Amino acid sequence: MAAPAARRQSPAPSADTARRLIHATTLVAWIITVAWALRMGTGLWGMPGTMGLPLPGFVVMWAVMMTAMMFSSIGPLAVLYSRTLDSPHRLLGLGAGYLLAWATTGFAAYVIADLFGGLASGRPALAQAVAVGCFVLAGLYQLTPLKRRCLSHCRSPIAHLVRLISFRGRWRDVRAGLHHGLFCLGCCWGLMVLMVAVGVMNVAAMVLLAAIIAAEKHWRYGETLAPVVGIACLVWAAVIVVEPGAAPGLDPAATTMSGMPMGS
């Protein structure tokens, strides 16, 4: 009589399973991102605006980029959450909810990149001011209590685990991932604004920002690093005032890369 019950149960996912899934997904996303950038001819430094992509293509590209940059951030929560699950497939719901929170920001990113990319093509002084504003905004946000609160959530997911595992229904794992993703978005949106100034799909900037975000969330001195990064953003804003090329995503001179016109 016990055998049928045993067959109905799936083995609980292990912490190692969670880590492997996260590492594999992140690696695949980075490979796709770099391949996409090379195929579009943007190289490592990206191009201004939306790079000629329509809204659907841009949102897909953005989702892949966010997966590459942000998915590893769910690691500590996924390991803890996996210990409460009765099936490894439920980890997919957690990851899907987390990525959904970041993928939907692609719509806002498209509007912002399209608008400011247009400004860069005809109003270089205004584009320079926008670039300065992006760095000032990111820098100031790094110093706010809201940033510290969201960062604290991401650094200590165990404090919020009880709430997440209390979700019920078919979509409970997606809701848990979405809930955590929104806190992560609250922690990191200021840094993502910088992609407008340095160039969407700027792979070099993506790697740097991903490293900063990972250090903020996982390094023992991450909470101290956050305001340091904020001050560095403010300093870089001052650099852009002197040298607009320090923000290649809004520099009119960056409409070509390696002699190739944008969109070729």
d(CA 17, CA 152): 25
User: CA-CA distance, 237 to 135, in Å (whole number)?
Assistant: 5
Note the pTM of the prediction, 2 decimals: 0.82
> Is the pLDDT score of 107 beyond 90?
yes
Nearest of 213, 74, 234, 212 to residue 141 by alpha carbon: 234
How confident is the model over 114-134, as a mean pLDDT?
79
Is the Cβ–Cβ distance between 144 and 64 less than 8 Å? no
Q: Which amino acid is at 239?
A: V
Query: What is the torsional sign of CA 98, 101, 104, 110?
Result: negative
Write out pLDDT tens, residues 22-55: 889 999 999 999 988 888 766 666 666 777 789 9
Between these two residues, 246 and 64, which has the higher pLDDT value? Answer: 64
Averaged pLDDT for residues 122-131: 80
